[in-house]
Amino acid sequence: MIKHISGGVCAAQGFTANGIHCGIRKNKTKKDLALIYSACPATAAAVYTTNLVKGAPLLVTKAHLANGQARAVICNSGNANTCNANGIEVAEQMSEALAKELGINANDVVVASTGVIGQPLNLEPIVEGIPALVRGLSADGGDAAAEGIMTTDTVKKEDAVSFEIGGKTCHLGGIAKGSGMIHPNMATMLVFITTDAAISAPMLQKALSGDITNTFNMVSVDGDTSTNDMVTVLANGMAGNAEITEENEDFATFMKALNTVTVALCRKIAGDGEGATKLLECNVTGAKDVPTAKTVAKSVICSSLLKAAMFGADANWGRVLCAIGYSGADVDVNAVDVSFRSTKGEIAVCKNGAGVEFSEEKAKEILLESEIEILISLGNGGGKATAWGCDLTYDYVKINGDYRT
């Protein structure tokens, strides 16, 4: 049985974390440097943004994880270390400074950055802050680390679960940042996941790569795929289970635990989209296959017109049909049903591709809630998919109009 627990990225045995303000940000009340550390060597896996413009930390991390191992994750916020002539050098020096303080190999460090693109990253405050960052490592430090990676996020994003493999209790938890510049096709944010389950590096990579297709690749806030984002998982094996080295029952259990945490983080990221007031979840069923369902779900969740209608609590279902129509999916538009649902109830607005009579008052009551489900049936097929997004508000433009200055 998989149970939600507290602890976030420190829920797993042997993991400690911390977050501090080192001076990258002008606002001294905001943490801007985070650290996650494993007491023993861990297998590691990662997925990276598909944007051709990639931040230097991603390139350095990819090289470091070539052997499938890591011990620590360091991440700064406030500056993305992207499109800088000395970006690689700075990322490597971050790794080396941390490794020296921890007494580990620099190749065992995952390095990440988030914030403004194209602004030189001053290494001095980071190097000067690392000793305090390391001294403050704690099994209760997950919250501080979650704060240290935030940019325009308004809330910390963390989740954790416990589960059993081979009679051993295992734990898996993670933290994430993501509010803007979020769009499908991995990666769409920064996510750091830890587990004390024993699993080989190839199987850990298989688990992560398989999971993101149904989770992080199904989240969109604004249609912009970021340059610096990745998801990493460290597994230190301290739970004592027999190492997972193949696809079996234990691997299936691990996948379910991983998916439970990643779905929770997806919902938190989408619900905290820049300027957002509502979490949107689009559930598509009845598709001829899963790829078709995914294409439709993502098209609907990415529609700026639909997102704006949800902000205004306007049951403008025609915008759902419009997004389905231009999605490129092979769909019989005469078989499409659409409903909206929230804690205030559910209302059908379209049957067989055409509008049906419904109460506008009831629909508005449903759509005024903070979490909205858009339910779409495409017919009698077996394909289904879920995508997450948020409404489009005035505040999104306000936040991004002067983000750099």
CATH number at residue 390: 3.10.20.340
| CATH number where 221 lies | 3.60.70.12
Q: Does 171 share its domain with 243?
A: yes
Q: Does 185 share its domain with 136?
A: yes
pTM: 0.88
Contact of 212 with 233, CB cutoff 8 Å: no
In the predicted model, what is the mean pLDDT of residues 174-190? 65
Contact of 44 with 215, CB cutoff 8 Å: no
Q: Does 107 share its domain with 237?
A: yes
Q: pLDDT, tens digit, for every residue of 132-141?
A: 999 999 999 9
Which residue, of 271, 291, 308, is where some domain finishes?
A: 271
Q: Does 29 share its domain with 60?
A: yes
What pLDDT score does 120 carry? 83
Task: Report whether pLDDT(76) > 90.
Answer: yes
Q: Does 93 share its domain with 235?
A: yes
Place of tokens 């049903």: 337
Q: Does 313 share its domain with 333?
A: yes
The residues, any chain, with a CB within 8 Å of residue 224's CB and separated by 6 or more, are 180, 181, 182, 183
Q: Does 241 share its domain with 291?
A: no
Q: Which residues are known to be catalytic?
A: 188
Task: Return left, alpha or beta for 369; rule: phi > 0 is left, psi -120 to 50 is alpha, else beta.
Answer: beta
Q: pLDDT, tens digit, for every residue of 213-224?
A: 999 889 876 555
What pLDDT score does 403 carry? 59
Task: Report whether pLDDT(271) > 60.
Answer: yes
Q: pLDDT, tens digit, for every residue of 241-267?
A: 999 999 999 999 999 999 999 999 999
Which residue, of 271, 303, 334, is where some domain finishes?
A: 271
What pLDDT score does 343 carry? 98
Q: Does 335 share its domain with 250?
A: no
Which residue, of 208, 242, 271, is where some domain finishes?
A: 271
- What percent of the chain is modeled with pLDDT above 90? 77
Q: Does 42 share its domain with 93?
A: yes
Task: Give the three-class secondary structure for 221.
Answer: coil
Closest alpha carbon to 148 in 247, 33, 237, 228:
33
Structure tokens at 37: 């550390």
What pLDDT score does 217 carry? 87
What pLDDT score does 187 carry? 37
Arithmetic mean of pLDDT over the chain: 92
Q: Does 158 share its domain with 37?
A: yes
Place of tokens 């296959």: 289
For residue 348, the surrounding DSSP H or E stretch is: strand 345-351
What pLDDT score does 227 carry? 55
- Domain with 172, as residue range(s), is 3-271
Task: Give the three-class secondary structure for 274.
Answer: coil
Q: Does 129 share its domain with 199?
A: yes
Closest alpha carbon to 133 in 20, 9, 8, 10:
20
Task: Report whether pLDDT(188) > 50.
Answer: no
In the predicted model, what is the mean pLDDT of residues 223-230? 62
Q: Does 322 share its domain with 255?
A: no
CB atoms within 10 A of CB 196: 27
Give the integer Cα–Cα distance in Å for 23 and 287. 51
Give the integer Cα–Cα distance in Å for 321 and 336. 8
CA–CA distance from 254 to each of 169, 191, 206, 368 (Å)? Answer: 12, 18, 11, 37
Closest alpha carbon to 81 in 52, 106, 53, 117:
117
Give the integer Cα–Cα distance in Å for 392 and 310. 8
Give CA angle at 330 (327, 332), nearest 5°.
105
Structure tokens at 295: 């294409």
- Number of domains the chain is built from: 2
